Structure 1
Amino acid sequence: MNVVSFGGGTNSTAMIIGMYLHKIPVDLILFADTGGEQPHTYEFIRVFNAWLEKHGLPKITPVFYTDKDGNRLTLEEECFRSHTLPSIAYGFKKCSLKHKIGTQEKFCNHYPPCVEVWKSGCRVNKYIGYDAGETRRIQHAAAIDEVDKKYEKHYPLYEWGWDRAECVRVIERAGLPKPGKSSCYFCPSMKKKEIQALWENNPELFQRAVDMEHNAADSLTSIKGLGRKWSWESYHDEFIEAQELEKAQLTFDDLFPEAPGGCLCGAPCGCYDG
């Protein structure tokens, strides 16, 4: 039983394509959906599913967190209900363990083919997309993998020597668009350029992230917002203010077009006083 952990990004996409090229069977592809993934991730999954179907591979199976009553609870809903930010903003990885790893575990625990493998005394093969440049992650996981009684972990990208650049090339050769970075739209790990892209391309989602900061404001003590030491709202406002100030600046040449490049007296430094 071969289960693939699909993260929605470049590495896991290239890994699935590589498994197809290497004729490694794929029985199940799981994608843990927090409910707040970036729009480009959901769109890529739609495109990739068509590619998978065309090549005789199983479509991606989305899994998600449910509460004790069996109702879906997205990470965004959880944050708003608890008046907090994603745990990674505070330096923890609870959101990933709960909404990513935990949901896949729970699904497999109730998935008959996996249960049958375990009943037979064997382990389920789990394929993870760590590339050739992620030696430390694989080394860190080695001790845990060795004692895992349920799963035998495989890192094919590492075994094939595929680094990030090769993963991109594999995806392009398969005729697929680049997946883009996979993350929640309100992820505290996003870089400033990614936050800027969010407010430019998806302003409604950026506003939701700001609303999340406002909603959690009264509970924040050691951090200021999704940027940890700064809030996304303050970064946005300061960026826009600086941009508007720059646009408002008039150069000397604008003010005195008859004396380009210096003072009216002709001095290039602009400080000649006669």
Structure 2
Amino acid sequence: MKIVLSYGLGADSTAILLRWLIEPATRTFDLADLIVVSAQTGDEWSETGHLVEQYVYPLLAKHGIRTVQVARKSKSQRDGIVILDDTRTPTRCYVTGAYKLSDELIDVATVPQTGGKRLCSLKSKGWPLDTFIAELTKGEDFVHVVGYESDELSRMLGDAQVVGLPGRIPTYPLIEWGWDRATCEQYIHDQLGVWWPKSACVQCPYALATAAGRARTIPRFLAHPDEAMRTLTMEYLAVAINPRQGLIGGRQLLDELEATEGSGPLLDQFEQHLDSLPWAIYDVRRAFRAHPDDMMRPANAARSLTRVHEGTRGDMIGGVRFMATLLHPLGARLETGRHHRLWLHERNLYYPCVEQLVAAAPALASDKTNKTFSSAWRAGLEGPAQLSLSF
């Protein structure tokens, strides 16, 4: 029977692999039956990939363990997946993937969210893994090794109850061993002499959601400015289009960095990076539907995003200011500072309603209008007229 380990590159699954290789008595199968599979989102920290190449892959190659790396081919599942590597002598960890999750987020001018299901993970990791494993096992029984820690019983129960791939038999070695994250990290350190960092996408909001997470992650941004540039650009664009966005529960990573000692050089580099990008003036319109039980709560929103002009940063900011001189007498409100926005319609206290703004931002997002936008916009325009909610 095939033993499939979902290798997320982090401490949990790394500890499982190491213990199985170093302490053969802890496993009940032959290594010839083990297949180690990783799904690359394209946005893993580069240092994690280097550690895997330096410490883990040589061990897998020594034992001839089949090691597979997969990724989404595009944002559409219709295009399938890419097999980045399938070998028994792995050397390179393809953390850049094939189609970056961050490319998709930037294209629609948004940031990942912590609320609800982890859709980013399901889309960029879960689906490629399931697609590959389904083709690998072809409906036959297989053992699926999952690296949940001893204090993640709720996740284990949720995973075990999911009707997933045919023939899947889930197993959770860390829970069986009683190992939590600290135990995993200590074991790796004892065996390899390094403290293994947390595996995550560079822009992962869960890594920034707690004070402890920020204490781990902010120094990584300071140490890896190139990865910080991409994340800050994504957030800057998303916030320009929607001020309610932000990587820290609606708050901004940029604010956190500004409050961090020693971040000056990184922030200066980011300003220079923004200056170097092509910019655009965007027309942003949102239509909010009313919640069926409460007209003071929005149900959902439909958005239209359109570039109306492109040029340099200075020219686009100047363009927004010029539009403000023309439209201010009609009630438009100019917002300046980190972002330049001209509010033409501001959302009301009651729903349905609409909002419209013109914003200057990097020209990285594509024009896109939701299919239901036109009808939602008309309904919003006909909604109750109340005091607007300004920012």
Tell me the TM-score normalized by structure 2. Answer: 0.54
**CA 1:168–1:241: 2 relative to 1, 3 Å:** closer
2:158: which partner in 1?
A: 140
Residues 1-274 of structure 1 correspond to what in structure 2 (within 5 A)? 1-20=2-21, 21=23, 22-23=26-27, 24-26=29-31, 27-47=34-54, 48-54=56-62, 56-58=63-65, 60-67=67-74, 68-69=78-79, 72-86=98-112, 88-89=113-114, 91-111=116-136, 114-115=137-138, 118=139, 122-144=140-162, 149-175=166-192, 177-190=194-207, 191-220=213-242, 223-240=244-261
Separation of aligned partners in 2, 1:193 and 1:98: 28
| 3-state secondary structure, aligned to 2:44 | coil
Separation of aligned partners in 2, 1:42 and 1:59: 18
1:73-125: CA deviations, max 9, x gaps? 21011111121112x345441110010111101112223xx12xx2xxx4211
| 3-state secondary structure, aligned to 2:162 | helix
Gapped regions of structure 2 (runs ≥ 5): 83-97, 208-212, 265-391
- Corresponding pairs, count: 232
| 3-state secondary structure, aligned to 1:189 | helix
Separation of aligned partners in 1, 2:149 and 2:231: 31
Tell me the TM-score normalized by structure 1. Answer: 0.75
Question: Offset at 1:36?
Answer: 0.7
Separation of aligned partners in 2, 1:15 and 1:7: 11
2:363: which partner in 1?
A: none
| 3-state secondary structure, aligned to 2:236 | helix
| 3-state secondary structure, aligned to 1:178 | coil
Q: Contact 2:203/2:231 (CA < 8 Å) preserved in 1? A: yes
1:147-183: CA deviations, max 9, x gaps? 7633100011211222333323332343353321000
- The 10-residue stretch of structure 1 (6-15 or 173-182) with the greater mean CA deviation from structure 2: 173-182
1:227-263: CA deviations, max 9, x gaps? 12311112212335999xxxxxxxxxxxxxxxxxxxx
| 3-state secondary structure, aligned to 2:99 | coil
Q: Contact 1:124/1:150 (CA < 8 Å) preserved in 2? A: yes
Separation of aligned partners in 1, 2:180 and 2:232: 36
Richer in strand (by share): 2
